[in-house]
Chains A and B, each alone.
Chain A
Amino acid sequence: MAEKLEDLNLPNASVQKIIKEALPDNVNIGKDARSALSRAASVFVLYITSQASNEAQKADRKTLTGQDIIKALEELEFENFIEPLQEVLKEFKNSKTKKSKGSKTTKPNEEENGIEEGEEEIEAEETMEDV
């Protein structure tokens, strides 16, 4: 759970990197612009989560699914994000089936996320127990 208020902010360095990727090279990004985008993204996550949890409640589920997120994006007029996200969902499902077979994927890019994935797995287990 969030203990400090900062826990609800996104890390500055990551946000900076994302903005840089989106804009042409050698564009200056004002500090206030970055923090505004960062705050906006946090609020966006909450906004979508809230709508997604409505979707889950409608279906009498207590756990948010990927489909709930996609439905929420559609409802709130962010349809243009859906298509690339379907890709992510597909990939996630693929990697899950691979993992259950016991063969670990060794794509170079996935290794970078190794630590994070460890964390997520613990979370996923918690979720299972809760249900």
Chain B
Amino acid sequence: MAPASRTHLPASRISTIMKSSSDVETVSRESTLLMCKAAEFFIKYLATESYNTTNNGKKLDYKNIAEVVHKDDRYEFLRDIMPKKITVREFKRIMAKKLAEEAGDKGSAGSSSEDEDSSSSSSSGDASSSSDSDESGASA
């Protein structure tokens, strides 16, 4: 990058973004140029940091960036637009755990209650509570 002022990003676009901020009236050309360059540094910096968190260094993924954003407090302003992603498998695991905990609270008669469910549940909302009471009656 021989002359320092050479930028990849279009100055007109950067200036549009800057002016879209409600509390800005006018931006000087000088500030636009600096912002162009700053945005470029920012992309490079965040990309490099994220790249350093990859396992084999072959591919840069969304999750690498999200990881850095959620670790470094300087990037706090990005956390809303960059939620951490989880896989469907993780989601299922979390849900299964949650269900298991709920079931654990109420008692543990798994297989027999299922049979009762299928026979008695036409109204699905009440089904679980009624089968619960059945279980407690049976075990008592």
Contacts and interface: CB of A to CB of B under 8 A. Distances in A.
Interface of A: 1-2, 7-8, 10-11, 14-15, 17-19, 21-24, 27-30, 32-33, 36-50, 52-54, 57, 62-66, 68-70, 73, 76-78, 80-81, 84-85, 87-89, 91-93, 95, 107, 109-110, 112-113, 116, 119-121, 123-124, 126-127, 130-131
Contacts of B74: 76-78
B21 to A, nearest CB: 5
Contacts of A64: 18, 24, 26-28, 31
At the interface, is chain B mostly helix, strand, loop or mixed? helix
Nearest to A127: B26
Nearest to A34: B60
A32 B77 contact: no
B108 interface: no
Contacts of B131: none
Interface of B: 2-21, 23-35, 37-48, 50-51, 57-62, 64-66, 69, 74, 77-78, 81-82
